[in-house]
Amino acid sequence: MKKIVCAALASVCGLVFSAAFPPPSQAQNKKVLVQFAWVVGGLHAGFFVAKEKGFYASKGLDVTISRGFGSGDTAKVVATGKAQFGEVNLPTAIISHGKGASLTIVGVIIGKAPESFLSFEGKGI
């Protein structure tokens, strides 16, 4: 009798707990837009894998991923609230902040900038 009462009590507690803390459903997910700086490339693969595997949905996010039209444009889109997240290079973020844009850097995609400068030897650069 004791085992039956304990099992029934555990079942009721489980039902109450699951009703009190339901997993996020698609209807409850917060819609967010992630805009890249330019066209989608290989370095963005992780964003798509995370979406496909449901990582965003498991945190209550319904993520839309969009290509960008330059870091400056993406900074404006995020600063005006049209996108919640954006890929913006550091110089653009600094300049945008200096012009009053409210941007927060939350991560790094490329830790070392791949840009380089070339000049002819006789140009004195």
What's phi and psi for 46, nearest 5 deg? -60, -35
DSSP the chain: -HHHHHHHHHHHHHHHHHHHSPPPPTTTPEEEEEE-SSS--GGGHHHHHHHHTTHHHHTTEEEEEE--S-HHHHHHHHHTTS-SEE---HHHHHHHHHTT--------S-SS--------GGG--
pTM over 0.85: no
pLDDT in the model for residue 27: 57
6 pLDDT above the threshold of 70: no
Instruction: From 100, 73, 101, select the one nearest 89 (Cα to Cα).
Output: 73
Lowest mean pLDDT across 34-38, 40-44, 78-82: 40-44
pLDDT in the model for residue 124: 79
Mean model confidence pLDDT for the chain: 83
The domains of the chain, with CATH numbers, are 24-114 (3.40.190.10)
61 pLDDT above the threshold of 60: yes
pLDDT digits (tens, 9 = 90+) for 97-116: 999 999 999 998 888 877 77
* pLDDT band (50, 70, 90) for residue 25: low
CA angle 41, 42, 45 (to 5 degrees): 105
CA angle 46, 49, 52 (to 5 degrees): 150
2 pLDDT above the threshold of 90: no
